[in-house]
Amino acid sequence: MRTFQHIAALRTYLRVMRDEGKTVGLVPTMGALHEGHLSLFNRAKMDCDLAVATIFVNPTQFGRNEDFDAYPRDLNHDLQLASNAGVVAVFHPSVDELYPAGFQTTIVLPQISSMLEGAYRPGHFEGVATIVNKLFNIVQPDRAYFGMKDYQQLTLIERMVYDLNLHLDVVAVPTMRDENGLALSSRNKYLSPEEKKAAFVLNRTLKKAEAAMLDGETDSATLLASLNEEIDSEPLAKIDYLELVNPETLLPVSTLSNATTLVVMAVRIGKTRLIDNQLVAPAGIKPVRFKKRETIC
């Protein structure tokens, strides 16, 4: 596996690969790799000749009071995991490499960026959109892989790719969970054993939503009340938001009739903020996100 800290060297390597006709699948990460990230690497390897990963804890997507400094970092371990997973190149630049003095350009998707996560993390999605756009420009992948775990982030990136006619496919990869249904996340490292147990309430709540839908629930207020009750039954859990939304627009839905609904939540367990989501649908309907937009490139 090749590793690169500098844009110029990575570009030279990728130019040679592209000249040989190789397709490139990009997996952007912030490191602290786990099985969730590995599932993205595997998917990229399946679809493309070369799986390329980036490891960069992006300062511009962290708020002032967030965990940028404390975010878990273990580059050597990550490189070992990426290499074992068959990633051929890892780009792990310094902050200065990506944000040189005088940097001032920001990509803003005002609507998506202000709802749900965005309402609690001002500036977060501007940071995400900008860094992902930069990584797309640097790597110029054929496909880029994002986890459904960060559903709003995935939606934002799909929208940006469509709006700006970026020439790549965005691939959504299902959420990997542990044996108790807890969505894998680098931030799970912050949880004490007691908090980890408490965190199982997120998946229990998603399962409750799934069951209620299969049982014929059609009123979103009723379902929301019972989901809130489930989270509130866990003393260590505090809800930031818990909503039933349209899986394409992320706007709240009032009835849960014949369509797929996204249950989406952010819950604090002690000092750790966890997000999770699930697509749910009435009995007989397969939960689907939405019809993919045709790319106009």
What number of chain residues touch ligand AMP (CB under 6 A)? Answer: 17
Is residue 133 at the binding interface for ligand AMP, with CB under 6 A as the rule? no
Binding of ligand AMP at residue 149 (CB under 6 A)? yes
- Which listed residue (173, 202, 274, 281) binds ligand AMP by CB under 6 A? 173
Neighbours of 85 (CB within 10 A): 21
**Has 6 been annotated as catalytic?**
no
Q: Is the Cβ of residue 172 or residue 224 nearer to ligand AMP in the bound state?
A: 172
Tokens linked to 222: 């009723």
- 78 in contact with ligand AMP (CB under 6 A): no
What angle in degrees, to the nearest 10, is found between the helix axes of 151-163 and 124-139? 60
Q: Near ligand AMP by CB under 6 A, which window of 183-191, 194-202, 222-230, 244-252?
A: 183-191
The answer to the question of residue 40 lying near ligand AMP (CB under 6 A) is yes
Residue 41 in contact with ligand AMP, rule: CB under 6 A: no
Q: Per CB under 6 A, does 29 bind ligand AMP?
A: yes
Shortest distance (Å) from residue 226 CB to ligand AMP: 25
By CB under 6 A, name the one of 14, 24, 30, 244 that touches ligand AMP.
30
Looking at 173-181, 189-197, 204-212, 256-264, which segment touches ligand AMP (CB under 6 A)? 173-181
Using rule CB under 6 A, residue 36 touches ligand AMP: yes
Q: How far is the CB of 213 from ligand AMP (least distance, A)?
A: 22
What would the DSSP string read from start to end of the chain?
A: -EEESSHHHHHHHHHHHHHTT--EEEEEE-S---HHHHHHHHHHHHHSSEEEEEE---GGGS-TTSSTTTS---HHHHHHHHHHTT--EEE---HHHHS-TT-------HHHHHSTHHHHSTTHHHHHHHHHHHHHHHH--SEEEEEGGGHHHHHHHHHHHHHTT-SSEEEEEPPPB-TTSPBP-GGGGG--HHHHHHHHHHHHHHHHHHHHHHTT--BHHHHHHHHHHHHHTSTTEEEEEEEEE-TTT--B-SB-SSS-EEEEEEEEETTEEEEEEEEE--TT------PPPPP--
Smallest separation (angstroms) from ligand AMP to the CB of 183: 5
CB of 67 or CB of 97, closer to ligand AMP: 67
Catalytic option among 6, 34, 37, 77: 37
150 binds ligand AMP (CB under 6 A): yes
Smaller CB distance to ligand AMP: residue 182 or 212? 182
Edge to edge, the sheet with strand 2-4 lists: 2-4, 89-91, 50-55, 24-29, 143-147, 169-173
Question: Which of the stretches 31-39, 223-231, 249-257, 263-271 binds ligand AMP when contact is defined by CB under 6 A?
Answer: 31-39
Contact footprint for ligand AMP (CB under 6 A): 29-30, 36-37, 39-40, 146-147, 149-150, 173, 175-176, 183-186
Q: Report the catalytic residues.
A: 37
